[in-house]
Structure 1
Amino acid sequence: MKFDVEINQETTTIHLPNQQGVIVIGNEPDKSGRGVQLFLKAGQLAAVSTETSQIDHDQVITIKPDWDLEADYLDKSLTEYAVANGLLKGEAPTIKIPTNQRATVEDFRDLVLKILTGLGFRLAFLQAPKHSGKPRHRFSKQVSQIAFSVDHDGATATVYWQKRNEMLVKAGARLKPKPELNKDGSLGFSAKFAERLRSEHADDIQDFVTTRDIVLKSVNEVGLFLYFGGINGWLVLKDEAGKSINDWTIVK
């Protein structure tokens, strides 16, 4: 496995493969408000939290997944795993991981644990993962010519993967008006990022319909922009015969 690493005086940042997110290792909690933090004390796991709580620690590992994966879901999955293996006492967060996202969350969790194990962190629940993380997809000239359609949760669009890091959403796309909220009525991280994407293109949207072509960076951004994510976008985008963009591009 290959990944990029940045090292400075205070932190070590690991960029995960396939733009899946980052792991930051340091001595202080991350204050950005995004990510799951593993608080360590004397080499042992003291807590798992999305908050910058005043937990006694001497090292913090902050895991920031890409925007298509909710940090709250990762928090629950990591805590469940730690409690089940006797490393933490108590219960996992009450938030429910949607059935259609649990496999994705656990795959990402296992990828992170594999990397941390390789770096020498001796945490009791760091076991060899069963999965290899997100699949890889390959861009090609043939794929760039295919019109992929979106018809999901009230959102419709025609999308082209026109360049390696460019997804073209054709004018006339209909956006899902409102995101699902957390139980406490707040916006999730994905919904916040989706709202930011929409605000960047506000001049090109009228009554939740795009008036001009819009270029985004990835399939994940397309899903967030159109319907606030919540499902694997590689399976949502389909050609006229119903073949998904995943089937067209996955590297086996």
Structure 2
Amino acid sequence: MIKLAVEIDQDNTKVQFDEQRKIMIYRDLKEAPTLKNDVILVYFKGREALAVDYGQKIDKNTLKAADNLVTISVPWDIEAKDLAQQMLDVWQNNALKTTGLFEMQKIAANHFPVAAKYQKELFEILATFGYENEKVKKKPAKAQHRWNKKVSEIPFYIDYNDSTGEVVWQKRNEMVLKAGAKLKQEMPLNKDGSVGFSARLTEKLRADYADKISDFTTTEDIILKSVNEVGIFLYYAGTNGWLVLKDKDGKTIDEYTVVK
């Protein structure tokens, strides 16, 4: 646990976590702050570290390109150059394009544990204030699918993971699972043997339609709300249902309805 004392005003944030260790976040960079002691200087562009340095000298060109400046006090038992190097190494190893405004050097083996410990604490604190310590991978955009009149006339078939069935997407929020569909019988469990979220959803959904199921086979048509719900009902989900439902020629419902 790291205990912090935080003071926030209009332009700056002060974070104190013991007598020797302090972080200052400068948001107003119209004028460079005056530094009286050697500190770690981190120039942030957005939420990623643009550059790191140490000492009392602020690089004016880098400051112009930055959105925030963060200064970090250096305890007596850590060399400033070691801490700056350790922070730079971790950022670069985490795919950030941070540059070092100092001569690179290898951290001595006997200095590394202390520098690495402080760096880890600092990164936890910086992350708490919204600064990234590794490259954030953009999540691929989720595919969008659109119902249309043509697709409502096409029967799609399921033959996956011990389940089979025929589905017609008759309206935007109505998918008719035809009578005679075979439900997967064996419930998948988590690695620790517990029942997962998808399995619980499946059991609840099947309980809702228990009067239309006999011996894991549907005895009447059942209206479900989505491709996802069909997958939950039939085979406990666990895969992309848009690629499971196929027409008589093997063309997926995704190919018919994905928005490009």
TM, length-normalised to structure 2: 0.50
1:242 alignment counterpart: 250
Q: Secondary structure of 2:170's partner?
A: strand
Which residue, out of 193, 198, 213, partners 1:190?
198
2:216 alignment counterpart: 208
Q: How far 1:130 sits from its partner (Å)?
A: 3.4
- Shift in CA distance, 202/88, structure 1 to aligned 2, threshold 3 Å: farther
Q: How far 1:183 sits from its partner (Å)?
A: 1.7
Q: How far 1:163 sits from its partner (Å)?
A: 0.7
CA deviation vs aligned residue, 1:228-247 (integer Å, no higher than 9, x gap): 01110000000001000001
| In 1: Cα distance, 2:237 partner to 2:120 partner | 32
1:137 pairs with 2:130: no
1:223 pairs with 2:228: no
| In 2: Cα distance, 1:222 partner to 1:197 partner | 10
Which residue, out of 241, 246, 250, partners 1:233?
241
CA deviation vs aligned residue, 1:194-244 (integer Å, no higher than 9, x gap): 111101001100000000100111101100100001110000000001000
| In 2: Cα distance, 1:133 partner to 1:173 partner | 32
Q: Count how many residue pairs are aligned between Structure 1 and Structure 2.
A: 143
1:114 alignment counterpart: none
Mark the runs of 5 or more structure 2 residues left unpaired by the alignment: 5-92, 95-115, 122-128
After the TM superposition, which parts of structure 1 deviate over 3 Å for at least 4 consecutive aligned residues? 84-89, 125-132
| In 1: Cα distance, 2:178 partner to 2:201 partner | 21
| In 2: Cα distance, 1:171 partner to 1:209 partner | 8
Q: How far 1:139 sits from its partner (Å)?
A: 0.5
| In 1: Cα distance, 2:148 partner to 2:224 partner | 17
Q: How far 1:125 sits from its partner (Å)?
A: 5.2
Amino acid at match of 2:205: L
1:75 alignment counterpart: none
Q: Secondary structure of 2:150's partner?
A: helix
Amino acid at match of 2:203: E
- Shift in CA distance, 125/173, structure 1 to aligned 2, threshold 3 Å: farther
1:181 alignment counterpart: 189
Q: How far 1:128 sits from its partner (Å)?
A: 5.1
| In 2: Cα distance, 1:237 partner to 1:167 partner | 12
- Shift in CA distance, 123/148, structure 1 to aligned 2, threshold 3 Å: farther
Amino acid at match of 2:176: L
- Shift in CA distance, 88/224, structure 1 to aligned 2, threshold 3 Å: farther
Amino acid at match of 2:231: G
TM, length-normalised to structure 1: 0.51
| In 1: Cα distance, 2:156 partner to 2:196 partner | 27
